Amino acid sequence: MSRGRTSWRFNAWLSAALLLAILVVANGLAREHLAWRVDCSEDGLYTPSPVGKRLVEGLEDHLRVEAFFSGEVRLGPVQIAKRRLTDQLEELRDDARGRIELVFEDPNASSEARVSADRFGIRPVPLKAVQGTSLVSQDVYLGLVLRYRERERVIPFVLPQEFEFVFLSALSDLTRPTRGVVGFLVDDGTGKADDPFQQARRLLTDRFTVLEVLDLDRGEDVPPSLDVLVVARPRLAARSAAAVDRYLQGGGRALFLCDRTVVDLARGALTEIEDGCSALFEAWGLALSEKLAWDQLRSNTIRTALTTTDGTREVRVQFPYWVHVDQDGVQRELPATARVPGCDLFWSHAVLKANGPVAGLECTTLLESSPQTWLVSAVGAAIVDPNVLSSKGVALLAQGGERSYPLAVALRGPLPSAFGDGTSETQVVVVGDSDWVSDGKFFTTRNELLFQNLVDWLAQEDELLALRSRLPVDRKIDDFLEAERLSRGLATLVEIQGSSETSELLSSLEAEAADAARRRRWLHMAAGTGGGLAAAFVALFAFRALLTRP
């Protein structure tokens, strides 16, 4: 018995060791050779996009990818990121069926590789992490160089979550015979170096050649080679407008970012400008409103000083001139805006459909304000006094007549000429604001996404548009609190400064809405959990009955 037991112990330890070895080896082999997966999620963010597959499968020549990755990474999360990047690169190489050559260089280990990386502008990024009780820092290289037909693109640093877009954008740029060209026409093409659209230009330079369109009023023409003309805050003379019209009649596509009011908040100044586009818009059945959109329901906030009997303090108040277009106000049918979560417009004009539809021309509203919007005079648009804003809100509510207004439209089809009889098949987008793409804090991430999408849509860069649109769908849940506030009219009630009665009423209504919202949340949860438990008990009873049946 004793010998048998000793032999069993030996067998047990041997089995455990063998199983462990099998586990490690089989897992390792599976990791290397069984890279097959299905992405069941609707967003499909974890599988290579069809566009990516199409791009690598369509390579006509040899693509060499040099990955400048640090070999020995001392930081756990970076090691995992590096492994994921390597997996993503290998996945693309497998899809390319031999047309992608992958070369790994370690600039931390080889001075030659370090010099090469430096030559390409690939620099180490200092990263830190706490390991045990000490802070570990390391300069990490995660850069790529793509070479294709004697052209090259450098990606100085990349992380797995942005890899697909960055890599495929670079690849798409490399494989295109010629780069797209975007022209910028600002003001009247005077070419001022300090115009406020530098960031917008920089955003496009990765993928397009950006040109300045100048001197239209001196008889120059818009270069017909442009893929897209961006007309930003125009002040076009009649001759310039005619040149733009000729460009469009030649099949050119354009993005109009128009303003009739420029506000300088710092100085509290307001300048009226004449955009010079009225003749063009009129011919297309559009009119840019003179007045500004005042959105009482969806607006961004502004910091301002509030003076009360207790003194002056800084507060954040809703500023209805700054329209926040949420996902309900964004066109979901057009690829350019289908996956955009919204945007922020500042002192925006409405783009009205003036003369009825133009035959054959398809006019689609891209962005619209909330149903509680008025068009108001620009006078006072630079005033951020909370008392003035709230009394204006009250006056508008009393006046009535609120509705949603289109703030950007897309035109597709035969575009009539403003200065002739012809029409031309083309695409144009008109936005009633230019501040949203101006340098600084107005150019938010959402605005950047919308701007790039509009340019790509006009330039017919469908592949890049599809790639950028691989963003997760906005999955916001119903806001019970907002719904309860709306049902009590709280969204439209404005506190009158100094009136304690209205303050008390508003507070009690707010508390009531919060309670009702809380009740609804509990009800939902209780229904789900209770229903689930009831189902579980029924299933377990049925199970039990089945098992005890002879």
Partner 1 sequence: MSAVAAVFRRELGGALDSPVAWAGTVLFVVGLHVLFFFLGYPIGDQRLPGFWAGGLASLDALFVWLPPIYAILAPALTMGSWAREFREGTDELLLTQPVTIRALVAGKFAASFALLGAMSLVAILSAALVVASVGPLDWGTVWGGLAGALALAAIHVAVGLLASAVGQEELVAFLLGSIVLLILWAAGLFVRVLPPTWAEALWYASPSLHFLEGGARGLFDLRDVVHAALAVGAALVLNGVVLVGRRWR
- Residue 269, amino acid: A
- Residues 194-233: x where in contact with partner 1 by CB under 8 A, - otherwise, as a string: ----------------------------------------
- What CA–CA distance (Å, rounded) separates 228 from 459? 6
Beta strands in 326-397 (DSSP E): 343-346, 349-353, 362-368, 373-376
Q: Does 12 bind partner 1 (CB under 8 A)?
A: yes
The least CB distance from residue 298 to partner 1, in Å, is: 16
Q: Does the protein bind partner 1 through residue 26 (CB under 8 A)?
A: yes
Q: Is residue 36 involved in binding partner 1 (CB under 8 A)?
A: yes
Rounded CA Rg of the chain: 30
The binder of partner 1 chosen from 61, 98, 126, 132 (CB under 8 A): 132
Task: Choose the binding region for partner 1 from 38-46, 162-170, 179-187, 359-367 (rule: CB under 8 A).
Answer: 38-46
- Closer by beta carbon to partner 1, 403 or else 522: 522
35 binds partner 1 (CB under 8 A): yes
Q: Is 548 in the site for partner 1 (CB under 8 A)?
A: yes
Token pair in block for residue 544: 């039990």
If one asks whether residue 162 binds partner 1 (CB under 8 A), the answer comes out as: no
Q: Please tell me whether residue 109 binds partner 1 under the rule CB under 8 A.
A: no
- Please give the Cα distance from 42 to 39 (Å, whole number): 8
Closest alpha carbon to 319 in 329, 340, 304, 306: 304
Helix (H, G, I), strand (E, B) or coil at 426: strand
Q: Please state at what angle helix 500-548 crosses helix 480-487, rounded to 10 degrees.
A: 130
* CB of residue 145 to partner 1, shortest distance in Å: 25
Among 55, 59, 73, 330, binds partner 1 (CB under 8 A): 73
CB of 91 to partner 1, least distance (A): 12
135 sits in which H/E element: strand 134-140
Given candidates 399, 501, 547, 550, which one binds partner 1 under the rule CB under 8 A?
547
CA distances 485 to 37, 82, 300, 492, Å, are 45, 48, 18, 9
For residue 148, give the DSSP letter: E
Of 323, 308, 299, 440, the C-alpha closest to 385 is: 308
Q: What angle do CA 350, 355, 356 make, to 5 degrees?
A: 95
Cα–Cα distance for residue pair 144/155, rounded to 1 Å: 5
**Cα distances (Å, whole numbers) of residue 503 to 111, 493, 511:** 70, 11, 12
Among 224, 251, 422, 531, interactor with partner 1 by CB under 8 A:
531
Binds partner 1 (CB under 8 A): choice among 110, 131, 137, 460: 131
Among 58, 251, 422, 532, binds partner 1 (CB under 8 A): 532
Taking CB under 8 A as the binding criterion, the range among 6-14, 195-203, 383-391, 414-422 that sits at the site for partner 1 is 6-14
What is the rounded CA–CA span in Å between residue 457 and residue 230?
13
77 sits near partner 1 (criterion: CB under 8 A)? yes
147 vs 125: CA distance, rounded Å? 23
**Should residue 388 be labelled a site residue for partner 1 when binding is judged by CB under 8 A?**
no
Binding status of residue 398 toward partner 1 by CB under 8 A: no
Question: Per CB under 8 A, does 74 bind partner 1?
Answer: yes
Torsional sign, CA 295, 301, 304, 309? positive
Distance CA 446, CA 367 (A): 13
Asked if 46 is part of the footprint of partner 1 (rule: CB under 8 A), the reply reads yes
Residue (140 or 407) nearer to partner 1, CB: 140
For residue 331 the two structure tokens come to 């066109």
Give the total of residues touching partner 1 (CB under 8 A).
66
> Per-residue x/- mask for partner 1, residues 472 to 511, rule CB under 8 A?
-x-xxxxx--------------------------------
Site string for partner 1, 418-457 (x = CB under 8 A): ----------------------------------------
Q: Which is nearer to partner 1, 103 or 473 (CB)?
A: 473
| Beta strands 286-295 and 373-376, pairing class | antiparallel
Residue 150 zone, left/alpha/beta (φ > 0; ψ -120 to 50; rest)? left
Tell me the window of 50-58, 73-81, 151-159, 274-282 that interacts with partner 1 (CB under 8 A). 73-81
Q: Is 471 in the site for partner 1 (CB under 8 A)?
A: no
CB of 525 to partner 1, least distance (A): 5
Q: Note whether 192 and 201 are within 8 A (CB).
A: no
Q: Which residue has the tokens 């689930």?
A: 532
Residues lying near partner 1 in the complex (CB under 8 A) are found at: 1, 4-5, 8-9, 11-12, 15-16, 19-20, 22-23, 26-27, 30-31, 34-43, 46, 72-80, 83, 129-132, 473, 475-479, 521, 524-525, 527-529, 531-533, 535-537, 539-540, 543-544, 547-548
